[in-house]
Amino acid sequence: MPLPIAHSFLGASIVAALHPKPFRRFCFPLFAGVILANAADFDFGFSVFFGLSGWHRGFTHSISFALLFTSILIIWFGWRDRLREALAYGLAYASHCILDFATTKEGHGVEILFPFTTERFGLRWFGLSEVPSRLPLIDILTAIGLEILIFAPLFVIILWLKRIYKYQQAAP
């Protein structure tokens, strides 16, 4: 289970790559990508505030929920008017589910196939910042550094390529 840093960089990277104008109005689209990429973890609130154990990494981490969310965005933004924008935000949300699935080695995994099954899955190849609340401070700082080292360059490269593409389109 990655920390919010990995989710944030990946969500912003997806929006930067797909959104037609990711830099408009104080970079709001990139900020929205950061929020949406972390939104699936809001289910953790059910566990904390209502004492409902087992909700975290549940249905909000499923591909079906991500598809439903993306479909709602497409309808809300208009099928033809802002399709790329809706897909960028929907994929930013979906990236959370996929990243948690891909980086779960320990623990229960995610309900990625909900509502077809409530079984939890994970690739179990390697863990990324798993169970950070139980780690010593030095391990948490190491995990933060590792996530920045892995995901920040992807974000910077996408921004750089987007800027090059933008200048090539503007050139006569």
Is this prediction's pTM over 0.85?
Answer: yes
- Give the C-alpha separation, 172 to 158, whole Å: 23
For 121, the 3-state DSSP assignment is strand
Instruction: Report yes or no: 1 and 106 within 8 Å, Cβ to Cβ.
Output: no
Domain ranges of the chain: 4-170
Instruction: Report yes or no: 103 and 131 within 8 Å, Cβ to Cβ.
Output: no
Instruction: Report yes or no: 40 and 121 within 8 Å, Cβ to Cβ.
Output: no
- Give the C-alpha separation, 39 to 81, whole Å: 25
CA 51 from chain centre, in angstroms, equals 25
3-state secondary structure labels for all residues of 49-114? HHCCCCCCCCHHHCHHHHHHHHHHHHHHHCCCCCHHHHHHHHHHHHHHHHHHHHCCCCCCCECCCC
- What string of pLDDT tens digits covers the 172 residues of the chain? 688 999 999 999 999 999 988 877 778 999 999 999 999 998 877 777 777 666 678 899 999 999 999 999 999 998 788 999 999 999 999 999 999 999 888 778 899 999 999 999 998 877 776 666 677 888 888 889 999 999 999 999 999 998 888 777 776 6
Structure tokens at 115: 């509502």
The radius of gyration of the chain from alpha carbons, rounded to an integer in Å, stands at 17
- Give the C-alpha separation, 122 to 133, whole Å: 20
The residue type found at 37 is A
Start-to-end CA span in the chain (Å)? 47
